[in-house]
Chains A and B, each alone.
Chain A
Amino acid sequence: MWLIYFFKMITFNQVHKRYPGGYEALKNVSFDIAEGEMVFLTGHSGAGKSTLLKLIAAIERPNSGSVLVNNQNIGALKGGALPYLRRNLGIIFQDHKLLFDRNVFDNVLLPLQICGFEHRESGKRVRAALDKVGLLKREKSNPIALSGGEQQRLCIARAIVNRPSILLADEPTGNLDAAYAREIMAIFNSFHQVGATLLISTHDESVLQDSGVRRLVLKEGVLQ
């Protein structure tokens, strides 16, 4: 058992996050997520789920306490090291953040371009990622022509194409019907099986019910 705790992937230590204007999004939050673990982050909207994910990706910084990802203190990270932290994270955004000026293939290609992958190698990887989320036949389409569920899967393909060790998903099944939601959870499960660490924020009861996965429950910024 102690071995799991030894390989801590994400650690929050008495983290406070207060936004300018005084709103306290997170209060004294502490938890660990071990390497290869899959965890659900739940709570009502406004409970601080998105803020917690943003702290891991260093999009926001904690006011006090420490956030450690892969044993790196995010709060003390220099600006130049930030990109290399983020390359190790796959983030699935609530609003997808897809680029509509390019096709599906090029959207997934972007992380590989950023990391400087070789042309042929990156083409293979992009197709593998698209295949995994079932969008291989749509690689020439513009993301705007995709349905909500397909856009979500495209966002997942972009997050995994770089084979990150941590996947963060913010309400990945938010606006989807139950069938689509199950599909997406199946994709996440397959990543869990190959050893990725996953933190999935959701308030979708249908997703939460059918799993024995560990949950972190936030209520008004406090971990329950």
Chain B
Amino acid sequence: MTRAFAQHLGVLRAVLRRMFSSKLAGSLNILVIGIALSLPAGMYMLLQNAQGLVAQLSGTPQISLFLNMDAKTEDIDRLHKQLAQHPAVAGVEFVARAQALEQLKQGTGLSDLISGLQQNPLPDAFVVHPKPGDAQSLDALRGELAKLSKVSEAQLDSAWAYKLEALLKFGRLAVLILASLLSLALIAVTFNTIRLQILTQRDEIEVAKLIGATDGFIRRPFLYFGATQGLFGGIMAWLIVAASLLLLNRQLGALSQLYASQFTLHPLSFGDSLSLLLFSVYLGWLGAWLSVARHLSQIEPH
């Protein structure tokens, strides 16, 4: 057991020595793999951030009910009771038209303009907090509330969030396609690297076969090389994504200050980082395996 382990360690050491003996070629390969992987990984990270934003915003969907201008106090009381008893409604708030105007004055920089108005153009409104449900049931509730008497309009505030959600789904598909294509490219890069290595080590492979090396013994250094190169490529991709994030966040800080909000991009989570590394190791190994399977059988001693 320890002997086999020592043997594997020895192979790994030899592989690392070989990888760093050709600094330029080796690092170019790692860079290519890193860039190829950083594209989908970076896009995935941006999507995750957008996803988080959407969840935050659409976490508490609201329905705004705007009443007719001629609604009287008893209509309002009646509606209030009706809404409070509705089984799909968790809570309801009344926003009087005067109150709404005051909020508008304070919340935006338009107080001068609003003071100039002859009369309050805003209607009375209810803010309805529905019980949690999917987009469809919320939409049904909105339609139902819109039909109540004295209600002129019902707006589902999170409608845009659902549209964004659909857009994100589209984005995820795009990332998936990109990731698949670039994974193929990564496999091809490793395949070719290993092919060249096998060709330059033709003599060694032939001699090793002649003096009793098993296929596993001959295959091992190439598989280790592919996996190690994949690992370094994955680390490179992670570094590229992390560095880009740093730059983006600095720029984003300036931008969000202008909008008086606090928004920063979150880095890849630990789990996602680990997945990235494991995936790139696997791809490198797979490329090497395919190459070895294809080329090693062609070398037979004669």
Contacts and interface: CB of A to CB of B under 8 A. Distances in A.
Q: Tell me, yes or no, whether A binds B.
A: yes
Interface of A: 57, 59, 80, 83-89, 91, 93, 97, 99, 101, 110-111, 113-116, 118-119, 158, 162
Interface string B186-230: 000000000000000001101111111111010000000000000
Contact of A111 (B7, B206, B212): B212
A87 B214 CA distance: 10
Determine the main DSSP class of B at the interface with A. helix
Please name the 5 residue pairs, one residue from A and one from B, whose CB atoms are nearest each other, closest first.
A87-B212, A86-B212, A114-B213, A83-B212, A83-B214
Nearest to A99: B204
B123 to A, nearest CB: 85
Contacts of B206: 97
B210 A57 contact: yes
A91 B211 contact: yes
Given A59-B301, A99-B204, A116 B4 contact: yes
Contacts of B301: 59
A83 B215 CA distance: 9
Given A59-B302, A118-B3, 14 more contacts: A57-B210, A59-B210, A83-B209, A84-B212, A87-B212, A89-B212, A97-B207, A97-B210, A113-B7, A113-B10, A114-B211, A114-B217, A115-B212, A119-B6
9 contacts: A59-B301, A83-B214, A83-B217, A86-B211, A99-B203, A114-B212, A115-B212, A116-B7, A158-B211
A114 B6 contact: no
Contacts of B10: 113, 119
A111 B204 contact: no
Contacts of B210: 57, 59, 86, 91, 93, 97
A83 B7 contact: no
Contacts of B215: 83
B6 A110 contact: no
B44 to A, nearest CB: 42
A61 B72 CA distance: 105
A87 B208 CA distance: 10
Interface string B1-37: 0011011001000000000000000000000000000
Interface of B: 3-4, 6-7, 10, 203-204, 206-215, 217, 301-302
Contacts of B207: 97, 99, 110
B301 to A, nearest CB: 5
A93 B302 CA distance: 11
A115 B209 CA distance: 12
Nearest to B302: A59
B221 to A, nearest CB: 11
Nearest to A60: B302
Nearest to B213: A114
B6 A97 contact: no
A137 B213 CA distance: 28
A91 B7 CA distance: 24
Given A59-B210, A59-B301, A118 B204 contact: no
Contacts of A80: 214
A111 B6 contact: no
Nearest to A89: B212
B218 to A, nearest CB: 9
Contacts of B4: 116
B163 to A, nearest CB: 60
B6 A118 contact: yes
B302 A114 contact: no
Given A59-B302, A116-B4, A111 B203 contact: no
Contact of A101 (B7, B204, B211, B212): B204
A55 B114 CA distance: 103
Nearest to B301: A59
A89 B211 CA distance: 8
Given A118-B6, A119-B6, A83 B203 contact: no
B293 to A, nearest CB: 14
Contacts of A101: 204
Given A59-B302, A97-B203, A118-B3, A110 B212 contact: no
A99 B301 CA distance: 15
A89 B212 CA distance: 9
A101 to B, nearest CB: 7
